[in-house]
Structures are given as C-alpha cells and as structure tokens.
Structure 1
Amino acid sequence: MKKGALPLNEKLPAEPELMIFYGVGRSSIREAIKILSQSGFVSVQQGLGTFVISRSGNDELSNKLQEADFAEVYQVRKVLEFEIIAKACQFRTAKDITLLRERVAERGLYAQEGELRKCIHSDIAYHTLIAESCGNSILAQLYKTLSVYVEKFFDDVYTDTIPFIDSQDLHIELIDQIEAQDAEKAVEVVRKIIGNL
C-alpha cells in the first residue's frame, strides 16, 4: 500500500484471487483485509468490494490511541456515536436494517450462550454497521478505528455476558428507532446503552 502498487480508489482483487496469489486460506485474507481496513488503508463496501483509500493509513491516529487511556477513547467514541446515530436515522437503507437485525440476533444468541468473546465481537460489529449506514465514510472510518481499542478494553473488562444480556432489548429498540428515522429517540436509546456500560 505505502509503495503505491495499487492506486487510490483501486478495487482489490476478489478473495479467491488473493488466496491463490498469496497461497493462503480465506481466513488469512479476511484477517489481512480487516487489519488494512482498521489501519485506514482500505474501505470495505458491502456488495461492492474493497477499495484503496489511503497510502499512509491512520498510523498517527493509531499511535495516539495506543497511548491514550480508555476514558479518552471512550469519550471520543461517545461523541461520534451520537452524530452517527442521528445520521444513520437519515441515511439508513432497508438492507442496513436487515443486517443490523441479523447482527443483534447473533449478539443476543452469543450472550445467552455465554460466549463472551463472540458476543463482544458481535456487539462491536453491530455498532460498526450503524456507523457504516450513517452516510459519512469519514465518521464511519473513525468509528471503526476507535472500535478496535474499545473491543480490546471489553476483552479485558468483561468476565461474563450478563451486561450484554441486560442491554439486548435496548440494542433492538435502537434499530427500531433508526428504522423509524426518529433521531431524537434513537439518541436517547444510545444514552441508555452507554449508561449500562
């Protein structure tokens, strides 16, 4: 990426091509793309593919985040969350709502089964989907970058899935408000979710 082998806005080859080219399995390719996305080099666009968005990534931001304490990271995440929710109410599509309902159901299932790691991952993915539906790729990318550190914090702090069970209904209600395009109520639900952490 940094050497400019792929120009900006270039679409990456499909997973099967990358698997053959690099001689690795699908999971390795997906993990590499996830890292590139979280580092700000590529943007994964559902149904369209993965595109190069930067040659420098967000190394400076990542370095700052690694040095920050969680309270700072979480404060920025909250500020982003409120703006993202309001915009998601405006720009969400029917497909976004369907994907959110699938993800929240997965989150609930893992929570009920006590699968903490999977539950945390699904929770982060759920909130990331909302960010992706907000109609602002920069907000979405910032949120994704912060979420890497939030997920690490959740891994360290939570010992069981009870907090995720307790907040499941709020996560479902949030989708309902986004679907209804009621930004005021959606933001209120997010305040309650944040209060449960």
Structure 2
Amino acid sequence: MMKESANLVIQKKSLAEELAEQLQNQIKDGKFAVGQKLPTEPELMRIFGVGRSTVREAVKILVNMGFLKVQQGAGTFVENLTASNEPMEQRLRRADIHDLDEVRKILEIAIAGRAAERRTEQDIEKIEGFLDERGRTAEAGQLEACIEADVNFHIALAKATHNEILYELYRSAAIYLRKGFEHIYVDTACFLASQPTHKQLVRHIIAQDAREALHTINIILQEP
C-alpha cells in the first residue's frame, strides 16, 4: 500500500497532470509491479488531497499512455512499467542527451543532401542569416545566443529539405538538444572553430552540390 506523506499532497493548478506524474514516477521507480492493483479511488483522493474527478482524469492519462489498465469491478492495475504509447514530445523531453545527439547526427546526414537538392532562395536567405548570427555571437563569446543561432541554422537546413516529417523530427529533437548544449559547452570556442566548415556547407547547398554537402556535413559531425 502507498503511505501518506506530506510531500505527496498536490497544490499546483494542473492537478490531474500532477497526480498522473506522481503515479507515473512511482510506477517507474518500481513501487508498483506489473499486475499490481493501485489504491482505490477514495484512497488516492485522501493520500493526494484531490477530488474524485482529478483522480479519474489522472488515471485516464496513464491508461492512454499504457501504464495502467482499468478492469471494471476489479480496480486499476499496472499494465507496464514504461509507457507503451508515450507521445514523442514527452519521450524527447526525458531522453538522454547522448541519445538525442546521436539522432541529430543521423538526421543531419539525411538533411544535408536533400537540402542541397531542394533549397529555394528563401531557404538560403534564412540559412545564411542564422549562419552569420552564429559567427557573430561566437566571436563575441555569447554562448547562449550562439547555441540558439547554431540550432536555428540546422533547423533551417531541415526546413530546406521540404520534407515536413524530416523537418519536424529534427526540430523536435533540437528543442531539447538546445538545453543540453548549454551544459556541455563552457564557451564558444568550438563554434568559432567550426564556422568555416559551416560556411563551406552552405556554399555547397547554394551550388546544389549534394555530394559535397554530404562530405562536408560528415566533417562537421566529427568536429568537437
């Protein structure tokens, strides 16, 4: 059985989401085994200090994610210790920075060649704008702004593929990578050093030379 604790009482506005997160964390931490029955609805209401509708909505959230299964007349049981159909945005949010970076590198190889083949003049204008900003902020030692410009530069390249799925995959991963980069890099030295190869990549994309663009992106991915 779940024990009462003062720090389990939820006081935030999104009560159902907060309760779902609390239960989800306890499931992931192994406090409930697969097949184990959760406390009854009244017990959850008492433990967390929330109403019946909040408990039901939280259970619904976890059922939709694949954590729980409701058996009519029997109760609510743990179905999985991890989400079976967790939304991609949520998976990316909790993903390891190294896993995200690996995905980024795989996507960037696919992006470089297609961007070179499909880019428009409008795409080039945006790409060059972010590249210039990347260089200026790197020279000025403005780390946060430099990371922002670098991420936006690569997102613009993904947009230039005119493949909406490829673009959305990269954009979604990049959002969470941006935060990770702020902990990895201590200054802009690496960005400054890699600016020439980034300029070279843009030249190949402007020239619509997919082969050289692929060659250059591979060099960039090996840089610190």
Same fold (TM over 0.5): yes
CA–CA distance in 1 between the matches of 2:149 and 2:94? 26
CA–CA distance in 2 between the matches of 1:156 and 1:150? 10
The one-letter amino acid of 1:117's match is E
CA–CA distance in 2 between the matches of 1:73 and 1:66? 10
CA–CA distance in 1 between the matches of 2:122 and 2:90? 35
Alignment length, in residue pairs? 140
TM-score (norm 1): 0.68
CA–CA distance in 2 between the matches of 1:140 and 1:106? 21
Q: 1:102 aligns with which of 129, 132, 143?
A: 129
- 2:88 corresponding residue in structure 1: 61
- State the Cα RMSD in Å: 1.5
CA–CA distance in 2 between the matches of 1:169 and 1:134? 22
- 2:167 corresponding residue in structure 1: 140
* 1:191 aligns to 2:211 (yes or no): no
The one-letter amino acid of 1:99's match is K
For residue 66 of structure 1, report the CA deviation from its aligned partner. 2.7
* 1:119 aligns to 2:125 (yes or no): no
For residue 61 of structure 1, report the CA deviation from its aligned partner. 0.9
Q: Deviation digits for residues 52-109 of structure 1, max 9, x if unmatched?
A: xxxxxxx711222233212211111111111111111111011211221121111100
TM-score (norm 2): 0.60
- 2:205 corresponding residue in structure 1: 178
Alignment of 1:44-83 (within 5 A): 60-83=87-110
For residue 171 of structure 1, report the CA deviation from its aligned partner. 0.8
Give structure 1 stretches of 5+ with no counterpart. 1-58
The one-letter amino acid of 2:179's match is K
Secondary structure in 2 matching 1:167 = helix
CA–CA distance in 1 between the matches of 2:179 and 2:210? 29
The one-letter amino acid of 2:218's match is R
Give structure 2 stretches of 5+ with no counterpart. 1-85
Q: Which runs of 4+ in 1 moved over 3 A?
A: none
Alignment of 1:164-175 (within 5 A): 164-175=191-202
For residue 144 of structure 1, report the CA deviation from its aligned partner. 0.4
- 1:7 corresponding residue in structure 2: none
